[in-house]
Amino acid sequence: MSKPSRESGEQARDGNRVAARRDFDALRERRMRAAEMFDQGRRQSGVAAELGVSAQAVSKWHRAWSAGGREAMAGAGRAGRMRKLSDERLAEVETELMKGPRTNGFATEMWTLARVAEVIDRVTGVRYSVTQTGTILRDGLGWSRQRPARKAAERDDEAIEE
C-alpha cells in the first residue's frame, strides 16, 4: 500500500464532497475573481452574491485586498492545522521504532500505542494521544496494526506434529 500524499489535501472519506471542498486552485481562482471585482469598485454584497459565498468571507477578502492587493489574497495553499512533525522527524521516529521495543527500554518485544507515543515524545518532544499515535503510524508511516498469534499454554507441539 502506498503512502497517501499529504499535499493533495484530498481525503478518501466522502469522495467528491471532501475533494471539491479542498480544490485549492478553484478556491484561489474564486478569490482572484473577487479581487478583479474589487478593482472595478464592486460592492462587497454584490461580490458575495455573484460568487455565491458568505458576506463574512468577502469581508475578509476585502480586508486582505485593501492591505496587500491581489498577492494578499493568494491563500495559504493548504487547509487545516499544520502538522507537528515534519517528514524528517517522522523518519527519526521510524528509525527508533525499527530498533525494537526492548532497545527502547520496554520489557517485552511488543509495540503498543502507548509505548510508541512514549518514543515519539522522547525522540521529538511532541506528545500525542494514543488515538493520534495510531493515526500517525497508519497514515504517516504506513504501518499496520498487527497482533501476535496466540497459542494455548496447554498446547503440545509434538502431538500436533504427529
Contacts of 123 (CB under 8 A, 6+ apart): 89, 92, 93, 96
Grid cell locating 150: 496466540
Q: Rounded to a whole number, what is the distance in angstroms from the first to the last CA of the chain? A: 39
Q: 43: Cβ–Cβ under 8 A, 6 or more apart, which residues?
A: none
Instruction: Give the CA count within 13 Å in the CB-facing half-sphere of 73.
Output: 26
Sign of CA dihedral 152, 153, 157, 158: negative
Strands (E), the chain: none
99 in Cβ contact with 109 (< 8 Å): no
- 162 residues of the chain, pLDDT tens digit each: 444 443 444 344 444 444 445 678 888 899 999 999 999 999 999 999 999 999 999 999 999 999 988 888 887 666 677 778 888 999 999 999 999 999 999 999 999 999 999 999 999 999 999 999 999 999 888 998 887 777 777 777 788 787
Q: What are the phi and psi torsion angles at 21 (to 5°)? A: -70, -25
Helix (H, G, I), strand (E, B) or coil at 155: coil
Place of cell 499496520: 144
CA distances (Å), origin 14, targets 10, 27, 78, 134, 138: 10, 19, 19, 22, 19
